[in-house]
Amino acid sequence: MVKRALAMLACLALSPALLVQPPGASAQEPDAGAYTARADVLPIGDDPEEPTAEIFYIAYTRDGADPAERPITFLFNGGPGAASVFLHLGAVGPYMLDLAGDGSMPPQPSRLVANDFSWLDFTDLVFVDPVGTGFSRALPPESGDDENGNGGNGGEADPQAYWDAEADLESIGQFMRLYLTRFDRWPSPKVIAGESYGGLRVAALSRVLMDDFEIILNGAVLVSPALDYGLLLESERHSLLHWAMVLPSLAATADLHGRAALPVDADDLAPRVAPVEDYALTGYLTGLAGLGRMGEDETAAFYAEIAELTGLDAETVARLRGRIGSWRFAKLLLQDEGLLVDRYDATQTNPDPYPDLAYLEGGDRSLTLTDGVFASALLDYVRDELGYETDRTYEVLNEQTFRRWSFDSGISGRQGYVRTTDDLAYALTVNDRLQVLIVHGYHDLITPYLASRYLIDQTVIEPDARARVRFANYFGGHMFYFHDESLRAFHADVAALFGAL
């Protein structure tokens, strides 16, 4: 049973909403911090009379607030195929997992505690599970709303139509438009936030919502976003930009584990990695491009410089022709200690279960354990505290969604790898009230922070638009908020964004 840190005042049997107050609040005179929590589904589809799917959400609304003044934020995770539970119980919601605070996973069974850094401080929250994640499902034609306008828990249909880059945006737009209508939130300042592939969604939605759904955003928060898959895939080994994007994160990781030293000695990581960022986009890129044209001594010096930054030996760097990817780096950096570096949070290590293999296998403990840790806490919370009951399986990270996801159409009709920075640049230029915050962990080897900075520098050109984009990097990895100090800094930076709306 989950240990609760806040008292629950009521859970109405016929409603998915309940009133919540912090400890010590009077039932006769509700505390200013009281809020209503709601777990439910909304139907979506091109024809409101015949919905083709229903999307599960959990919403928190501050009681007594003026909707015209109180912002509302819609949040989703990535994958594709991830439910919103990670942002919900990891960083943003009023409850969070009782984490160790150092990036490691808590022991099982996990428990929830009050979140001192919840975004409820400055915005209402709607955590959205796209179709095929959480309890959200595609519906057969005969399923849909009941007589009260609530989605049913009946049959399911093949969700493939929703597992597409463009269809995904359409479904979220439909959900947001219906939610704003049903709960009278059109007057509210509107913000979206997404993590990983969810950050890619945010960038695309900043344009799609404006163009297709009449939803003008006030703010957008992109958490460890994967904005351009062409920069993230190691399979594109002849595309030099990928290797440049990850180099500062490799250097920060090697420095943390004592295998290399960053060029600058300072308390803050930002000035320490700055020379590596500059080198990655200058000398490193030209060096990779010039291989085969340099002399033997020049080539050896180039490889030695990379080895000094990454903590790998020069012979290995030469064998890889200077292209150090996260898979090999995670396997090789601490191989002499029998340890693997976690690519999702490179501050973490774990014993190599297959030390005899030349390639990485089973290396990311944080990804492997996170699903179960979050699922057990969320399921108990939804049923026992929010009063939402269903026989459906809660899909924390649906592997079928990821495997069957269609990127072929691109987004906005483009071909090739999905990328959405052009959409964000367009939205920032047209919507002169849009404020954007992009955040990363320094030790994220999956979506390296330099990629976002590079893409924004290349696409957001108009000066006023560029001035409304803020960046922040924190100690930690893909889910940097598993570290206490990073969670605190993240909350402060998001609060500053809302203060500028």
Its domain, for residue 331, covers: 237-363
CB atoms within 10 A of CB 75: 28
pLDDT band at 27 (very low <50, low <70, confident <90, very high): very low
209: in domain: yes
Q: What is the pLDDT of residue 200?
A: 94
Residue 154, φ and ψ in degrees, nearest 5: -80, -135
Do 165 and 252 share a domain, yes or no?
no
> 285-288: long-range contacts (C-beta < 8 A, 24 or more apart)?
285/240, 285/241, 285/244, 287/322, 288/240, 288/243, 288/244, 288/321, 288/322, 288/323
Of 318, 344, 363, the one marking the end of a domain is 363
Residue 481 pLDDT level (bands cut at 50, 70, 90): very high
pLDDT at 412: 43
The angle subtended at Cα 416 by Cα 415 and Cα 421, nearest 5°, is 85
Q: CB-based contacts of 79: which residues, under 8 Å, 6+ apart?
A: 133, 196, 197, 397, 398, 401, 402, 405
pLDDT in tens, 358-399: 777 766 676 766 777 888 889 889 998 999 999 898 888 888
Residue 465: pLDDT band by 50, 70, 90 thresholds? very high
Judge whether residue 216 has pLDDT over 60: yes
**222 and 260 assigned to the same domain:** no
Which pLDDT tens digit goes with each residue over 411-421? 544 545 677 89
Same domain, 219 and 78: yes
Q: How many CA atoms lie within 13 A of 238 on its CB side?
A: 0
Q: Pick the closest to residue 498 from 27, 122, 133 (CA basis).
A: 122
Query: Within this chain, do residues 284 and 323 fall inside the same structural domain, yes or no?
Result: yes
Residues 432, 495, single domain; the answer is yes
Question: Which one has a higher pLDDT value, 155 or 344?
Answer: 344
CA dist 338 and 497 (Å) reads 43
Q: How confident is the model at residue 479 (pLDDT cuts 50, 70, 90)?
A: very high
- The mean per-residue pLDDT over the stretch 294-314 comes to 96
Closest CA to 120 of 58, 168, 171, 166: 58
pTM of the model: 0.90
Same domain, 220 and 271: no
Mean pLDDT across 58-85:
95
Are 186 and 286 in a shared domain? no
Domain boundary among 363, 393, 424: 363
The mean per-residue pLDDT over the stretch 440-457 comes to 97
Same-domain pairing of 350 and 387: no
Predicted local distance difference test score (pLDDT) of residue 443: 98
Q: Per-residue pLDDT tens for 125-154? A: 999 999 999 999 999 876 445 444 444 445
CB atoms within 10 A of CB 437: 23
The CATH number covering residue 178 comes to 3.40.50.1820
Quote the tokens at residue 462.
């108009």
303: in domain: yes
> What amino acid occupies position 317?
V
Count CB-CB contacts under 10 A for residue 390.
Answer: 14
344, 347, 395: which is closest to 365 by C-alpha?
344
